[in-house]
Amino acid sequence: MTASLEVTGLDFAYPDGTPALRGVDLRIDPGERVALLGPNGAGKTTFVLQLNGILTPTAGTVAVGGLPVRKPNLQEIRRRVGIVFQDPDDQLFMPTVREDVAFGPANFGVTGAELTARVDAALAEVGMAGHADRSPLHLSGGQRRRVALATVLACDPEILVLDEPSSNLDPVARRELAETLLRLDRTLLMVTHDLPYALQLCPRSVVVDDGRVVADGPTRDLLADADLLRAHRLELPFGFALA
C-alpha cells in the first residue's frame, strides 16, 4: 500500500543555521488520523510547511501519496496536501465564502459546473452550505474554522493537515468541529497542544521535541505516560487523568 505521507530522514535548518528538524521519520497510511504533539518551538509548524514544499528540507525526502515533493510536482503536491492554518483570517481572504472555497480548486484547474459542485459539496460537508454568499468577516470563530476546512476539502486532498484546529474556539464550536472531522473519513494529521482533542480524534500520536520524533504510538498510551509528557513540556488540563 502506498503511504499517504512518507517522510524520511528530514532535516531542516533556518537560513541562519539554527536547526529546526533533525532526522524526522514519519509514515501515515491512508485513512489514518494522527496527532502531532509537542511543546511550543518543537518544530511542529516548520514540519507542516515542509509537507507541501513551502519550506525545502536541507536533507531527507517527503512523498505524498507516492509523489515526491520536488519543484516540478509542487502544484500537484499542494493539491494533495490540504493545510488548514491556525488563524482562519490568514486563510480566508476573498470577499465571500463561496469565492474563498473556489480559490483552491480554481487554481488547480477546476472550472464551471464542476467548480460550483465542488464548492457546494465542501460547504455541505462542514455544515456551512447556507453561508456561501456571506463575507468571512461576519462569521463566528467556529464558522470561520469550518469554512477554512472547506477551502481545503474542495481541493480533494490526499491528506488533511490541521494546525491547532481547536485554538480560540468555544467548547461547542470545538465539539462541532470534532464531529465534522470525525465524519470526514479522510487521512488526517493534526498539530496540537490540546491533548484531550488529540485523544478524541486521533487513535495514533507522534510527539516531537527539539526537532526530533521522541514517541510514536497509540494516543491513549502516550497520554497515560506521565514521565513522557513531563519530559516534553506536555500536560493534560487540570482535572484530567488517564488510567
Residues that bind another protein (CB under 8 A): 49, 52, 54, 75, 78-79, 81, 83, 85, 87, 89-96, 99, 102-104, 106-108, 135-138, 151-152, 155
How near is the Cβ of 30 to another protein at its closest, in Å?
Answer: 21
How near is the Cβ of 147 to another protein at its closest, in Å?
Answer: 13
Q: Which amino acid, 47?
A: F
Q: Which of 169, 164, 157 is nearest to 122 (CA)?
A: 157
How near is the Cβ of 115 to another protein at its closest, in Å?
Answer: 8
Please, which residue, 102 or 213, has the CB nearer to another protein? 102
How near is the Cβ of 126 to another protein at its closest, in Å?
Answer: 16
Q: Which amino acid, 34?
A: V
Please, which residue, 90 or 185, has the CB nearer to another protein? 90
How near is the Cβ of 106 to another protein at its closest, in Å?
Answer: 3
Helix axes 112-125, 97-107, angle to 10 degrees: 120
Residue 204: C-alpha distances to residues 34, 107, 150, 195, 216 (Å): 5, 33, 24, 12, 7
Q: Which of 107, 191, 93 is nearest to 154 (CA)?
A: 107
Please, which residue, 87 or 225, has the CB nearer to another protein? 87
Please, which residue, 62 or 207, has the CB nearer to another protein? 62
Q: b/e map of 28-56 (b: 16 or more CB within 10 Å)?
A: beeebbbbbbbeeebbbbbbbebbbbebe
Please, which residue, 151 or 219, has the CB nearer to another protein? 151
